[in-house]
Structure 1
Amino acid sequence: MAETKKINWVHFSTLVAVAILVGTEMVGASWAAGWALGGLLQLDPLVSRAIEAGFALCGFVLLYYFMRTAIKNEPIRN
């Protein structure tokens, strides 16, 4: 049987902190970019919200790829 590895709580807490910090920055900045673009182009509020949602979705996708790379470099299990 395969032996299960123990969780390294230091790495786990570091990755949670990084996810919160980077996630807030990345999603917030992309959402704000959508808001700014909608305001700059004086778009209809519904179109502006759609652009904000699209940019926020891009921020979540970037966060996913960032966290995938972070977990490769700092594994949770030893």
Structure 2
Amino acid sequence: MSARGQEARLQRLLDEMRSHGGRWNTARVHALYRGPGWGAPQTGTARRDLAELHRRGHLTQHGPEDGRYYHLRKEGRR
């Protein structure tokens, strides 16, 4: 996927997370990605996208490596 396509997917994922809130893990993102219009990326894509949004400061990370999940970061917190 092109860098532009990846950025569009990340922005769309972030928009979904803002709309629906709650706990987000690889399985939840992968289920979303299997829906219409997402192009059905692999599980690893969902995992990397969550990690990238965390790296950029949009998400807080919780749990152990084999049970990791994320929440949207509260505004003003880093």
Report which of the two has the higher share of strand. Answer: 2
Report which of the two has the higher share of helix. Answer: 1
Instruction: Give the TM-score taking structure 1 as reference length.
Output: 0.35
Asked which structure has the greater RCO (Cα within 8 Å, sep 6+), the reply is 1
